Chains A and B, each alone.
Chain A
Amino acid sequence: MTQPQTLFEKVWNRHLVRPQTADTPAVLYIDLHLVHEVTSPQAFTELRQRGLRVRRPDQTIATMDHSTPTTPRGLDGLIPVTDAQAAAQISQLERNCDEFGIPLYRLGSENQGIVHIVGPEQGLTQPGMTIVCGDSHTSTHGAFGALAFGIGTSEVAHVLATQCLLQSKPKTMAVRIDGRLHPGVTAKDIILAIIAKIGVGGGTGYVFEYMGEAIRALSMEERMTICNMSIEGGARAGMIAPDDTTFEYVAGRPRAPKGAAWERAVEQWRRLPTDEGATFDAEIRLDASALTPMITYGTNPGMGMPITSAIPNPGDFSDPSQRAALDKALNYMGLQPGQPLLGRPVDVVFLGSCTNSRISDLRVAANLMEGRKVAPNVRMMVVPGSQQVKRQAEAEGLDQIFRAAGAEWREAGCSMCIAMNGDQLQPGQYAVSTSNRNFEGRQGKGGRTFLASPLTAAATAINGVISDARELAS
Chain B
Amino acid sequence: MEPITTFSGTCVALPIENIDTDQIIPARFLKATDKQGMGDNLFADWRYAANGQPNPDFPLNRPEAKGAQILVGGHNFGCGSSREHAPWALQGFGFRAVISTYFADIFRNNALKVGLLPIMVDPETHYQLVSMVEEDPTTPVTIDLEAQQVRLPDGQAISFPIDPFAKYCLVNGVDQLGFLQSQEAEIAAFEQQYGARINTGARG
Chain A residues near B (Cβ < 8 Å): 17-18, 22-25, 27, 29, 31-32, 38-39, 41-42, 45-46, 50, 57-61, 66-67, 83, 85-86, 88-89, 92, 101-103, 124, 126, 129, 134-136, 138, 149-155, 157-158, 161-164, 166, 168, 170, 200-201, 204-205, 231, 234, 236, 255, 300, 302, 321-322, 324-325, 328, 418-420, 427, 437, 439-442, 445
Contacts and interface: CB of A to CB of B under 8 A. Distances in A.
Interface stretch (B2-10, B98-106, B133-141, B147-155): B98-106
Contacts of A151: 82, 106, 109
Contacts of A41: 32-34
B106 A152 contact: yes
Contacts of A420: 27-28, 30-31
Contacts, number: 219
Nearest to B111: A152
Contact of B181 (A24, A42, A162, A321): A162
Contact of B190 (A29, A153, A441): A29
5 tightest A-B CB contacts, nearest first: A152-B110, A150-B82, A201-B76, A152-B84, A41-B33
Contact of B187 (A27, A86, A324): A27
A152 B89 CA distance: 14
Contacts of A32: 197-198, 200
Given A39-B82, A154-B113, A204-B76, A83 B164 contact: no
Contacts of A205: 105
A136 B82 contact: yes
A324 B15 CA distance: 10
A296 to B, nearest CB: 13
A158 B177 contact: yes
A350 B84 CA distance: 27
A89 B31 contact: yes
28 contacts: A17-B186, A17-B190, A18-B183, A27-B183, A39-B82, A41-B32, A42-B33, A45-B33, A60-B200, A101-B202, A101-B203, A102-B200, A102-B202, A103-B200, A126-B197, A129-B198, A138-B82, A152-B110, A153-B85, A158-B176, A161-B181, A163-B191, A234-B79, A255-B201, A300-B20, A321-B17, A440-B23, A445-B28
A66 B81 CA distance: 13
A378 to B, nearest CB: 24
Given A58-B201, A59-B197, A149-B106, 19 more contacts: A29-B187, A31-B198, A60-B202, A66-B27, A85-B31, A102-B200, A152-B84, A152-B106, A154-B114, A155-B109, A161-B180, A162-B180, A200-B18, A201-B79, A300-B20, A300-B79, A325-B74, A437-B80, A441-B45
Contacts of B104: 201, 204, 234
Contacts of B201: 58, 61, 103, 255
A375 B142 CA distance: 59
B198 A124 contact: yes
B84 A22 contact: no
